[in-house]
């Protein structure tokens, strides 16, 4: 898991745009989650070194998000991208209108097999640059989990 603090969030340190709040990940580990207060230019990106992943295993890359009401405002679809070490780039456009409240939702970007060609750095991002104001999204991070599909 790449937690929110390790992601590059445009205007992430501006308190008018984002708020950072503690979240108890496990009984002995607290992390900070990023709460979107109000932006019209949403851009969140990150990277992960695949060397720690198990060989010949299929993984899913997914943003882990929830929402906070009554502040949640979302009209435009979001573009998600992932670029694998082998150069393959996956892109998908998804609506976040139905993200549940106070329950973590995994928004899958892509799946890949950890092979010798995929040893290196994966980059990933979500963005919406349409000028629509957005708020209420909570980002925990990006998950790399074994795919069941």
The structure tokens listed for 142 are 């990006």
The structure tokens listed for 72 are 């949640």
Q: What is the pLDDT of residues 71-121, one digit of tens each?
A: 666 778 999 999 999 999 999 999 888 888 888 999 999 999 999 999 999
* Structural domains of the chain, with CATH: 2-146 (2.60.120.260)
Distance from chain centroid for Cα 1 = 10
**pLDDT surpassing 90 at residue 30:** no
């Amino acid at each position: 898991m790449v937690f929110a603090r390790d992601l590059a969030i445009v205007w992430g340190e501006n308190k008018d745009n984002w708020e950072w709040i503690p979240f108890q990940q496990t009984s002995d580990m607290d992390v900070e989650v990023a709460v979107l207060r109000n932006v019209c230019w949403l851009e969140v990106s990150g990277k992960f070194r695949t060397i720690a992943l198990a060989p010949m295993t299929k993984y899913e890359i997914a943003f882990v998000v929830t929402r906070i009401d009554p502040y949640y405002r979302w009209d435009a679809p979001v573009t998600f991208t992932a670029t694998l070490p082998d150069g393959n780039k996956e892109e998908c456009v998804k609506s976040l209108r139905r993200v549940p409240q106070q329950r973590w939702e995994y928004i899958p970007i892509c799946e890949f097999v950890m092979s010798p060609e995929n040893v290196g750095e994966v980059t990933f991002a979500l963005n919406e640059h349409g000028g629509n104001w957005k708020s209420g999204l909570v980002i925990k991070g990006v998950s790399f989990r074994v795919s069941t599909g």
